[in-house]
C-alpha cells in the first residue's frame, strides 16, 4: 500500500482552524500521522531555539497509561526519527539526540504532555509550557461499546482543558491553541457534532462551521477502503455489515430522517426528561396516536421533569431510571413504533436517553 493512500496532514493543518475534526477509516494513518507531524515539528523548532509542545488528551485516568505505554514504539522506527531517542510516562513525553556512546546519558527535552478529562481539575496545578496543539484521539465512541460512554458536559470539559493548558492571552506571550479531534464514523450523535450543529447532511470533504472556527474533514478514502475490504482478513470478515460500513467504508449508519415529523400544535405536553444537561419534552397527540420528542419543554410547566442521572438532578426534578414506571411506559411506546421527533437534532441527542432505557 503506497504512502499516498495515507492521510495528508499537511493539507489539513494548512487550514489553520481553531478546532479540526477528522473522521476517517481505521488504519488510514490519522493518529500516527498527526503524532509524527507534531514530534518532527517540535524537534525542528527546538533545534532552532524555539520551543513548541503538544498534548495528548484521553477521556479517563485509566487510559493515561494505556496511551503513554509504548507511545513511541512504532513512531521511533520511522527513518526521520532515527537520530533521536524517546521516553514517556503517564504525564510527560521526552526526546533527545541519540547518544553516540551507550555510556553517555541522553540530554532529554520535554516534548509534550498526557492529560485525562476526568482529572482535569487536578491537572490545573500542573504547568503546561509552549503548547499550541492538542490531540484527542477516539473522540467518537461506538454506540455498541457497552463499556465506555461520553462524559457529562464533555465538550465543556475539553474547552476548560484547552483554557488551562494554553492560558491564551491577547498578547505575544500566549500561543494560539489548535485542537485536533480524531474519530471514526461510528456515531453521528457524538457531542462534537452536536456542539457545532453538524446535522445529518454529512458529506465527504472539508466543511467549515461556526464562522470558520471548526473544520470538519469527512474523509473519502475510497481507494484505501476498497483495498482494505478485499485485501485484509478484517475487511472480508466485516463485509456487508454495519461495522464494515463504519470501520472500512467510513459511513455513518445512524444517519436517518426516519421518524422525524413536525409536532402538531394540538399535542399535549406530558413530561420532560433531562440528561447530560439537555432537556427533552415528551408530547402526546391523541388524534394521530403519536408521541413526540422535542428539544425543549414549556416554560413554567407543572408537569414532571425526570432527571436521568445524578449530575442532572435539580430541585423539583424527579430522579428516574429505566425501571421507573414512566420510563418503562415510554420504552413500550418506542417499541410500538409510535414515537416521533420534531427535528433531526432532537432524534440525534435523544439516543443517549434511549440507551439508558435499554434501547439500542
- Does residue 8 register a pLDDT over 80? yes
Confidence of residue 79 (pLDDT cuts 50, 70, 90): very high
Say what the pLDDT of residue 4 is. 40
CA angle 38, 196, 61 (to 5 degrees): 50
- Does residue 3 register a pLDDT over 60? no
Please give the Cα distance from 162 to 177 (Å, whole number): 7
The residues spanned by each domain of the chain are: 3-247, 268-356
Residue of 233 and 351 predicted with greater confidence: 351
The per-type count for the chain, helices as H runs and strands as E runs, is: 12, 15
- Does residue 41 register a pLDDT over 50? yes
Say what the pLDDT of residue 85 is. 97
38 and 112 in contact (C-beta within 8 Å)?
A: yes
Please give the Cα distance from 273 to 287 (Å, whole number): 23
For residue range 140-179, list pLDDT tens digits in order: 988 666 677 888 889 999 999 999 888 755 444 568 999 9
- Please state which of the four CATH numbers 3.30.70.1090, 3.40.50.300, 3.30.1360.10, 3.90.25.10 is assigned to the domain occupying 3-247: 3.40.50.300
68 and 79 in contact (C-beta within 8 Å)?
A: no
Phi, psi of 273 (to 5 degrees): -130, 135
Percent of the chain's residues with pLDDT above 90:
53
Please give the Cα distance from 198 to 302 (Å, whole number): 34
Say what the pLDDT of residue 300 is. 87
Say what the pLDDT of residue 353 is. 86
218 and 183 in contact (C-beta within 8 Å)?
A: no
- pTM, entire model: 0.72
- Does residue 264 register a pLDDT over 70? yes
Grid cell of 320 as nine digits: 428516574
Say what the pLDDT of residue 26 is. 81
Say what the pLDDT of residue 112 is. 97
Phi, psi of 39 (to 5 degrees): -65, -50
Say what the pLDDT of residue 174 is. 62
User: How confident is the model over 272-294, as a mean pLDDT?
Assistant: 92
Q: Are strands 205-209 and 214-218 parallel, antiparallel or unpaired?
A: antiparallel
Closest alpha carbon to 95 in 120, 119, 75? 75
- Does residue 46 register a pLDDT over 70? yes
Please give the Cα distance from 132 to 148 (Å, whole number): 29
Confidence of residue 235 (pLDDT cuts 50, 70, 90): low
Tell me the average pLDDT of the chain. 85
For residue range 103-127, list pLDDT tens digits in order: 899 999 999 999 999 988 777 778 8
Amino acid at each position: 500500500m503506497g504512502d499516498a493512500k495515507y492521510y495528508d496532514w499537511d493539507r489539513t493543518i494548512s487550514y489553520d482552524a481553531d478546532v479540526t475534526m477528522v473522521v476517517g477509516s481505521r488504519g488510514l494513518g490519522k493518529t500516527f500521522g498527526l503524532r509524527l507531524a507534531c514530534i518532527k515539528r517540535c524537534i525542528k523548532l527546538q533545534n532552532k531555539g524555539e520551543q513548541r509542545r503538544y498534548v495528548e488528551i484521553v477521556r479517563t485516568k485509566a487510559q493515561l497509561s494505556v496511551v503513554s505505554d509504548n507511545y513511541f514504539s512504532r513512531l521511533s522506527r520511522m527513518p526521520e526519527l532515527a537520530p533521536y531517542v524517546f521516553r514517556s510516562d503517564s504525564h510527560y513525553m521526552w526526546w533527545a539526540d541519540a547518544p553516540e556512546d551507550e555510556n553517555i546519558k541522553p540530554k532529554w527535552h520535554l516534548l509534550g504532555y498526557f492529560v485525562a478529562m476526568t482529572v482535569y481539575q487536578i491537572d490545573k496545578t500542573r504547568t503546561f509550557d509552549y503548547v499550541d496543539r492538542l490531540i484527542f484521539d477516539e473522540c467518537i465512541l461506538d454506540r455498541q461499546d457497552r463499556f465506555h460512554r461520553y462524559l457529562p458536559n464533555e465538550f465543556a470539559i475539553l474547552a476548560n482543558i484547552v483554557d488551562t493548558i494554553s492560558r491564551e492571552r491577547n498578547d505575544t506571550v500566549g500561543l494560539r491553541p489548535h485542537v485536533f479531534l480524531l474519530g471514526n464514523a461510528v456515531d453521528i450523535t457524538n457531542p462534537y457534532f452536536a456542539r457545532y450543529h453538524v446535522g445529518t447532511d454529512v458529506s465527504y470533504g472539508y466543511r467549515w462551521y461556526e464562522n470558520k472556527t471548526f473544520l470538519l474533514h469527512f474523509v473519502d478514502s475510497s481507494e484505501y477502503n476498497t483495498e482494505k475490504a478485499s485485501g485484509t482478513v478484517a475487511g472480508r470478515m466485516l463485509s456487508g455489515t454495519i461495522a464494515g460500513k463504519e470501520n472500512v467504508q467510513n459511513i455513518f449508519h445512524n444517519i436517518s430522517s426516519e421518524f422525524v415529523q413536525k409536532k402538531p400544535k394540538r399535542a399535549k405536553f406530558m413530561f420532560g426528561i433531562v440528561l447530560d444537561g439537555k432537556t427533552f419534552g415528551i408530547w402526546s397527540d391523541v388524534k394521530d396516536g403519536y408521541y413526540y420528542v422535542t428539544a425543549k419543554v414549556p416554560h413554567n410547566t407543572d408537569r414532571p421533569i425526570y432527571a436521568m442521572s445524578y449530575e442532572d438532578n435539580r430541585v423539583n426534578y424527579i430522579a428516574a431510571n429505566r425501571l421507573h414506571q414512566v420510563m418503562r411506559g415510554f420504552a413500550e411506546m418506542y417499541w410500538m413504533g409510535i414515537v416521533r421527533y420534531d427535528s433531526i437534532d432532537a432524534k440525534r441527542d435523544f439516543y443517549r436517553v434511549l440507551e439508558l432505557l435499554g434501547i439500542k
